[in-house]
Amino acid sequence: MLEMMGKNDDIYSQMIIEDFYDQVKDEYKGFLYSGYPSYKDRFSEEPIKVDAILISNKGVLIIHISQQNSVDFQEIQDVLYNKIEVKMKSYKFLHKKRELLFKIDVVSVCDKAVSTENVVKNVGELVTYCKKNLSGNVEYELLRKINSAVQEAYGLGKRDDIDFEEGTKSELIANMNYIIENHDIRQMEAILADPVNIQRIRGMAGSGKTIVLAKKAVELHTAHPNWKILLTYNTRSVKPMLESLIDRLYRMKNDGQKPNYENLIIMHGWGSSSSPGFYYHLCKCYNVAPMNLNEAKDMFGSNRAFEGICNKLLKSVEQFKTIFDCILIDEAQDFPIPFFRLCLNNLNKDKRLVYAYDELQKLNEEAMPIPKKIFGCNIAIDTPLKVSYRNQSSVIVTAHAIGMGLYRDLENQNDKLVQIPDSNDIWEVIGYKCDDEIQEHQEVILYRTIETSPNYLNTDIKSLVKLFKCESKIDQYIKLVDLINDDLNKDKVPMKEIMIIDMETLNHKMNYDILKSAINQLPETNDLRVHLAGTLHPEDFSRPDSIVYSSILRAKGNETFVVYTVNSQECMNALTPIKKRNELFTAITRSKGWVNILGYGEKMEKLNQELNQVEVAEYSLKFKSYPSEQEKKLIRTTSVDLRKDDVVAIDNMEKLLTSLSEEKFNEIMKKFNELKKNK
C-alpha cells in the first residue's frame, strides 16, 4: 500500500494530491510526499519546492501543480527534474556508471491547460498518465534506497572509517556504515508537519527525537530563510552534536551551503554572560537583570532555581514581543512549565512551538504534564515515536526492568515494585507489545518486536548486557581498565565509541582520579586515554582519541556503542530508590550496543539477581499479576525518595559512626536502642 506524508501549503494543490492518493493508494506500494522535498537554489537562493513526488514499486514521478496556464511547464519540469536527478546521482548506491538505476518522470497538473504528453488537466488524467508511464519494476530494497535519498536520511549516523577485524565488535560497528537509513512514517510526519499552535513529539530515548528536531529546523530554515528559528536544549554537552548535525543536514540538502546562524539559532535554555542562552537572551531583550545559578539557588533553592527565574522573568515583562518565528525544544522533560510559557509568549501569532521529550524517562510518571497544564490550551499536533533506533531490545528491556525494580522479589512482585507508569497505554506508545489486553491482577508479558527494536547491530542480543561484581572500589577500577583494554586491543573499538558513566555523581571527579591511578599502575595501558567530561568547557564531552568519563548529568543526550557504568551499586540505594534507578536507566540507554555494569559490595549481588531474571524472562517485562489502580497508588506512596537534606544527614551520620572506635560505637548504639524503646 502507498503511504502518504507531508502537506502542501497551497490548499488547491493539497486537494489534488489527496484526491490522487485516494485513487492510487491500493495500486502502488511505496511513498507519496506532498509539499516535499524543498531546496534552496544555489545561485538565486530562492526556494525550489516539489508539489509532490511518488516513489513507488513501478517508478518515480515528480508532480508539479499550477492554477496558471501562462507558465512555461517545460522549463519548470526541467528545473525539478534536474534538481532531483542531481540529488539522486549524489548517492553511489542509486546509479551505475552515469545512469540511475530507475527512471524519473515529471508531469504538470493544470485545469486551465491543454492536455499534452506531460501536462494533464485533472486527477483522472493524472491517474491515466501513471498507468501509461509508470511501468517499471522497482524492487523493495531499491525503493528504500530512493526513499532514503529523497528524505536525505542516509548519513544521519556519522560514518567514520575504522580499522576492524573479522569477528570483533569493531566489525559490527563498521557494518553500521552500510545501513541505508530511512525515517519512519511517524518521524516524517513530525518533520513535515507545520507546527502552527504547538506540536508535541514524544518517544523513548533513542527514538530519533533530536534528529527529527534538527531535520525539522533545517526544513523550516530552507523554506523560510528569513524566519528567526530557535533550537534550544538542556544538557550543555549536546551542543557540539546539535551544531554538527544541523550543519551536516543543511549542507546535504543545499549543495554544501552553510545555514545562516543569525536566523537559525542553537542556544542553551539558560545560558550565561559568557555563553548565550535563551533565558539570558530574553533578559537582554527586555532590559531585565539576569540571575546566575548561585543567585537563583539562593533565592529559589537548588531544585527550583530555573523554574524560579523563569517565573520571575514572566512577571517582570509587562508586554511581550515577537522575538522568534518558531522555537524547537529538545529534552523538554527537563524544563519547568514557566520556561514553556516564556517560549510561547515570545512567538508570533501562529505560536509555532515544537517540543520533544523522552516518554517515561522517569518511570513512575509521565515525563511531561498534559499540554493544557503547560500552555493553558490543547496542542495541534501530537506525534509519538515508537521505534528505538539506539538501543537493542535486550538493552532497553533491561533498563526498564531495573528502573521499575520489576524483578526485585518474584514472590512479592507488586509489593517490591519501586515504580510503574500511571497509564497502561504508555507501553504501546513506547513500542512494547502485549498479546492480550492489559488487565489488573492478570499475568501480563510485555515484549519488543523487530519493528520497534531493529537489530541493526546484527548480533546476539543476549551478549550485550553484562554485570561485574567486584570486591572493592579499587578492584572495580582495575577490572574496568582490563575490560577496556580488551575492547581496544582485542575488539578494536575506537576510543570515542566508549563511555564511562559514574553512578556516584557527587564523587565522580575523585573517582576519576582513582581510574587514572589504576591506568598508570597497570602494564600495557600506555595507549589508553581517558578525559573527564566538561574539563575544557561546559560543552566538552566526546573527543576523537579519548574515552569520556562522565557523571550521569553530563552523559544525558549522548550515546556510544560501548557503555560502562561504575559504582552501579548506588542504584540499589534504599534512601532514594526512584532517583537512583532512574539514573541507571538513563545510563544504560546511552548505549548503541554493549553495556557493562560494574560495582562492588553486597548490593551488586542483588542487582545481579535482577539482571539474571531479565534473561530468564527472555528479555520481556513479565508481571505475575498486573497492579490495579489502587496498587499503583500504594506503590507511589510507599516508594518515596527521602529529601536531599535527609540523605546528606544520614550519609554524614554513617561517616561519623565508621570513624568511631568500637567502644564509642557500642556506646552510641546502646543509646540508640534505648531511644528506640522509648519511642
CB 112 within 8 A of CB 69: yes
Final residue belonging to a domain, choices 365, 385, 405 = 385
**Average pLDDT of the segment spanning 504-516:** 93
The DSSP string of 178-214 is G------HHHHHHHHS--TT-EEEEE-TTSSHHHHHH
Least confident of 67-76, 263-272, 400-409, 613-622: 67-76
Is 623 found in the same domain as 496? yes
**Average pLDDT of the segment spanning 129-143:** 93
- Measure the CA dihedral 77/79/85/89, to 10°: 170
Least confident of 87-101, 152-166, 385-399, 453-467: 152-166
Angle between the N-to-C axes of helices 123-133 and 11-24, in degrees from 0 to 180, rounded to the nearest 10: 50
pLDDT band at 628 (very low <50, low <70, confident <90, very high): very high
Question: Is residue 401 included in any domain, yes or no?
Answer: no
Is 651 found in the same domain as 614? no
Sheet with 444-448, edge to edge strand ranges: 432-433, 444-448, 621-623
C-alpha cell belonging to residue 418: 519501586
Least confident of 97-106, 109-118, 408-417, 553-562: 408-417
**Average pLDDT of the segment spanning 527-553:** 92
Question: Is residue 540 included in any domain, yes or no?
Answer: yes
Q: Please tell me the predicted confidence (pLDDT) of residue 627.
A: 93
Assess whether pLDDT exceeds 80 at residue 663.
no
C-alpha cell belonging to residue 188: 516524517
Assess whether pLDDT exceeds 60 at residue 357.
yes
In one-letter notation, the amino acid at residue 535 is T
Is 662 found in the same domain as 614? no
Of 457 and 512, the one with more pLDDT: 512
Is 660 found in the same domain as 612? no
CB 550 within 8 A of CB 502: yes
Assess whether pLDDT exceeds 60 at residue 366.
no
Assess whether pLDDT exceeds 90 at residue 494.
yes
Question: Is residue 399 included in any domain, yes or no?
Answer: no
Q: Please tell me the predicted confidence (pLDDT) of residue 655.
A: 63
Is 660 found in the same domain as 557? no
User: Residues, the chain, total?
Assistant: 679
Q: Please tell me the predicted confidence (pLDDT) of residue 446.
A: 97
Is 366 found in the same domain as 245? yes
Is 597 found in the same domain as 513? yes
Q: How many CB atoms lie within 10 A of CB 242?
A: 21
Assess whether pLDDT exceeds 80 at residue 679.
no
CB 298 within 8 A of CB 268: no
In one-letter notation, the amino acid at residue 147 is N
Final residue belonging to a domain, choices 135, 151, 167 = 151
Is 604 found in the same domain as 667? no
Q: Please tell me the predicted confidence (pLDDT) of residue 592.
A: 94
Whole-model pTM: value is 0.85
**Burial class of 90 by CB neighbour count within 10 A (0 to 12, 13 to 18, 19+):** middle
Residues 6 or more apart in contact with residue 672 via CB below 8 angstroms: none
pLDDT band at 666 (very low <50, low <70, confident <90, very high): confident
Distance of alpha carbon 217 from alpha carbon 11, whole angstroms? 23
CB 317 within 8 A of CB 291: no
Q: Which residues pair with 106 in a beta bridge?
A: 62
Is 651 found in the same domain as 613? no
**Average pLDDT of the segment spanning 1-27:** 94
Q: Please tell me the predicted confidence (pLDDT) of residue 521.
A: 84
Per cent of the chain over pLDDT 70 is: 92
3-state secondary structure of 576: coil
Q: Identify the top-confidence range among 110-114, 357-361, 484-488.
A: 484-488
Question: Is residue 421 included in any domain, yes or no?
Answer: no
Question: Is residue 610 included in any domain, yes or no?
Answer: yes
Please enumerate, as own/partner, the contacts of 314-317 that have beta carbons within 8 Å and a separation of 24 or more: 314/338, 314/341, 314/342, 314/345, 316/286, 316/288, 317/286, 317/288, 317/345
Least confident of 41-50, 91-100, 345-354, 648-657: 648-657
Question: Is residue 411 included in any domain, yes or no?
Answer: no
C-alpha distances out from residue 206 to 331, 387, 430, Å: 12, 8, 11
pLDDT one-digit tens code per residue, 281-333? 999 999 999 999 999 999 999 889 999 999 999 999 999 999 999 999 999 99
C-alpha cell belonging to residue 386: 515508537
The DSSP string of 241-297 is HHHHHHHHHHHHHTTTPPP-TTTEEEEESS--SSS-BHHHHHHHHTT-----HHHHH
In one-letter notation, the amino acid at residue 293 is L
**Mean pLDDT, the chain, as a whole number?**
90
Assess whether pLDDT exceeds 60 at residue 398.
yes
Q: What is the largest CA-CA distance in the chain?
A: 105
Assess whether pLDDT exceeds 70 at residue 461.
yes
pLDDT one-digit tens code per residue, 206-259? 899 999 999 999 999 999 999 999 999 998 888 999 999 999 999 989 988 999
Q: How far is C-alpha 445 from the chain's CA centre?
A: 26
**CATH number of domain containing 229:** 3.40.50.300
Question: Is residue 426 included in any domain, yes or no?
Answer: no
**CATH number of domain containing 121:** 3.40.1350
Question: Is residue 167 included in any domain, yes or no?
Answer: no
CB 127 within 8 A of CB 83: no
Q: Please tell me the predicted confidence (pLDDT) of residue 642.
A: 47
Q: What is the number of structural domains in the chain? A: 4
Distance of alpha carbon 201 from alpha carbon 187, whole angstroms? 9
C-alpha distances out from residue 647 to 269, 361, 363, 577, 644, Å: 29, 23, 21, 12, 5
Distance of alpha carbon 547 from alpha carbon 596, whole angstroms? 15
Q: Please tell me the predicted confidence (pLDDT) of residue 423.
A: 85
pLDDT band at 155 (very low <50, low <70, confident <90, very high): confident
Least confident of 46-50, 342-346, 461-465: 46-50
Q: Which residues form the domain of 245? A: 185-385
Of 182 and 477, the one with more pLDDT: 477
Is 122 found in the same domain as 201? no
**Average pLDDT of the segment spanning 117-141:** 94
Is 315 found in the same domain as 202? yes
**Burial class of 202 by CB neighbour count within 10 A (0 to 12, 13 to 18, 19+):** buried
Distance of alpha carbon 201 from alpha carbon 195, whole angstroms? 11
Q: Please tell me the predicted confidence (pLDDT) of residue 644.
A: 54
Q: Please tell me the predicted confidence (pLDDT) of residue 409.
A: 85
Q: Please tell me the predicted confidence (pLDDT) of residue 365.
A: 47
Residues 6 or more apart in contact with residue 518 via CB below 8 angstroms: 474, 477, 478, 480, 481
The DSSP string of 70-137 is SS-HHHHHHHHHHHHHHHHHTSGGGEETTEESS-EEEEEE-TTSPP-SSEESSHHHHHHHHHHH----
**Average pLDDT of the segment spanning 265-277:** 89
Is 378 found in the same domain as 359? yes
The 3-class secondary structure across 21-42, one letter per residue, is HHHHCCCCCEEEEECCCEEECC
Distance of alpha carbon 505 from alpha carbon 573, whole angstroms? 13
C-alpha cell belonging to residue 363: 518511570
